[in-house]
Amino acid sequence: MVLTGVAVVVITLAAVFAFDVHRAWHKFTVEDSIHGVFFPVVRALDEYEHDHGAPATNLAQLVPKYVSQIPSSALVDSVQYTLLPDGKAWQLSLHSTALDPPRLYCCRSSNKYTAEEEKRVLLRYHSVWVVLRD
């Protein structure tokens, strides 16, 4: 009887652990995929700014010299590129509902975020992306 109880506890703990590992792996693969698809755009934006002395006014300016096309991903619901109010910095925003809660993946040339945005930060990764609650 005791052995059966121990076995049930061990199996339950193993199942919980396996579920947590699966969830963490899924989160990692989603975020790594988003980075892999859109990092070339970030690099292209940096190269464009280096070459022209100012940021691109839109993503179309990157094609075809810096990237062959603006990528898309089933994991990203929308892509938005904006110049920040100072006109000297840009932001690439990727809205995604692939994970819960929905996320906003941001890359800014300035890497500066407001105090309100900092409160929404879920994580930072690859020293490129700041992930905010959307």
State the DSSP code for 105.
E
The rounded percent of the chain whose pLDDT value lies above 70 is 85
Q: Is 93 in a helix, a strand, or coil?
A: strand
Q: Residue ranges of the alpha helices (H) in 53-131?
A: 115-119
Band the pLDDT of 27: cuts 50, 70, 90. Answer: confident
CB within 8 Å of 40: residues ≥ 6 apart = 67, 71
Distance of CA 80 to the CA centre of its chain: 13
Tell me the pTM. 0.85
Per-residue pLDDT reduced to its tens digit, 83-107: 999 889 999 999 999 999 999 999 9
Band the pLDDT of 24: cuts 50, 70, 90. Answer: confident
State the average pLDDT over residues 67-79: 97
- What is residue 3's predicted lDDT score, i.e. its pLDDT? 67
State the average pLDDT over residues 114-126: 92
Per-residue pLDDT reduced to its tens digit, 4-21: 766 555 555 455 555 566
- What is residue 18's predicted lDDT score, i.e. its pLDDT? 59
